[in-house]
Amino acid sequence: MFKLTKTSIAIALVAATTMGTAMAAKYGYGRAPTQDEIDMMDIDVRPDGEGYPEGSGSVLEGEPLYIQQCAYCHGEFGESAGRWPVLAGGEGTLADERPEKTIGSYWPYASTIFDYVHRAMPFPAPQSLSDDETYAITAYLLYLNDLVDEDFVASKETLTGFKMPNEDGFFMDDRPDSPNTRCMENCRDPESIEITWDSTELGVTPIDHLTDDADEAPTEAAAEPSIDGAALYKQACAACHDMGVAGAPANGDAAQWADRIAQGSEVLYDHAINGYQGSAGYMPPKGGRADLSDEEVQAIVDYMVESSQ
Ligand code: HEC
Ligand code: HEC
């Protein structure tokens, strides 16, 4: 019998450590990351203040940055310009049938604003904001949500412990994972349970397209619906492409588009529909608009190509 004494645990640990080294040697590749490499990825900021960088930024400094880099998607006052997320307002709507979840109405911690904006925004160029710029925009977003005055300056000190209105709306759910009482009364005979088309009458699954009427629809629509590529471009693609991301047909970077066009339409369609990582940035599938059909995206690409020639 092997008894676990202090010495035997120590021996086991030594064995495990040696084994780790042996494994690394066995695969023969990889190395420990340098501190710089870790620092580059280690950018999370937590509610308790851990992770905030040095620096600061005020509401007044944040306003022009926000107007330039964020407002064309999120609206001048965070009300959203179109279908992008709303960033301000919505107080007191959480119990409504259609709650408006914003930073102010929903988010429990201010650290998430700094962390998220720093990490992921602006959408076309994530991680392009400096620490001070991120502080300034965080201050401005708190201001848009009426949570600070216009002389507020965001920093590690002022954001740590900053109380957000809905913080108490989040709590540890202390119910047990399983209440472990099994109901064995009034059970239905499994044989009697039948799944039929009628089951969907509960309204959970839309079935209109499966009904007989739907069969006729294609014939009616067969008269080639015309897609307005220019209008769809404005709605779905201009936010990035008119800003000079990837050049754009509209702002006249014809040389760059000549190279793109030279790849042929099939490649452009494929990149626009499925997304791709280029050297200038990431092109999200359909520009993030999953609701567009492939045909619509192709029509937009045709428009982009035509208007850059
Ligand atoms: C091209 C449009 C675009 C621009 C410009 C942009 N965003 Fe966003 N933003 C988005 C999209 C799309 C999402 C949703 C992303 C997701 O859910 O994956 C988002 C999400 C957010 C959210 C989270 C909203 C929520 O409640 O979940 C914040 C905060 C935000 N953006 C802030 C900013 C800030 C600050 C800037 C400017 C520095 C900016 N955004 C620029 C498109 C944009
Ligand atoms: C969130 C920003 C963003 C949106 C929205 C967006 N694009 Fe792009 N797109 C890019 C970027 C960035 C590139 C350039 C990638 C590179 O080459 O580095 C690009 C490149 C392209 C290209 C060239 C592909 C190539 O092979 O060179 C096409 C075509 C394109 N986009 C079509 C569209 C269409 C159509 C839409 C709207 C449905 C759209 N984009 C919306 C960011 C965006």
Please give the structure tokens belonging to residue 130. Answer: 């400096």
Q: Which atom of ligand 1 is nearest the CA belonging to 116? A: 29
Structural contact between residues 105 and 164, judged by C-beta atoms closer than 8 angstroms: no
**For the whole model, what pTM was predicted?**
0.56
What does the pLDDT look like over 118-157, one tens digit per residue? 999 999 899 999 999 999 999 999 999 999 999 999 999 9
Protein residue closest via CA to atom 43 of ligand 2: 283
Could you tell me the distance, in angstroms and rounded to a whole number, from the CA of residue 117 to the centre of ligand 1? 8
Q: The domain 56-169 is classified under which CATH number: 1.10.357.10, 1.10.1060.10, 1.20.1250.20, 1.10.760.10?
A: 1.10.760.10
CATH number of 229-307: 1.10.760.10
The ligand with the least distance to the CA atom of 290 is 2
Protein residues with CB under 6 Å of any ligand 1 atom: 69-70, 72-74, 84-85, 87, 103, 116-117, 121-124, 137, 239-240, 288
Determine the Cα–Cα distance for residues 133 and 27; give it in Å rounded to an integer. 43
Could you tell me the distance, in angstroms and rounded to a whole number, from the CA of residue 223 to the centre of ligand 1? 39
Higher pLDDT, 79 or 188: 79
What does the pLDDT look like over 37-90, one tens digit per residue? 998 899 999 999 999 999 999 999 999 999 999 999 999 999 998 889 999 999
Determine the Cα–Cα distance for residues 304 and 291; give it in Å rounded to an integer. 19
Which residue carries 């629809």 as its tokens? 217
What's the pLDDT at 83?
Answer: 85
Please give the structure tokens belonging to residue 200. Answer: 């969907």
Burial environment of residue 237 by CB neighbours within 10 A (0 to 12, 13 to 18, 19 or more)? buried
Could you tell me the distance, in angstroms and rounded to a whole number, from the CA of residue 287 to the centre of ligand 1? 14
Could you tell me the distance, in angstroms and rounded to a whole number, from the CA of residue 125 to the centre of ligand 1? 11
Query: CATH 1.10.760.10 residue ranges in the chain?
Result: 56-169, 229-307
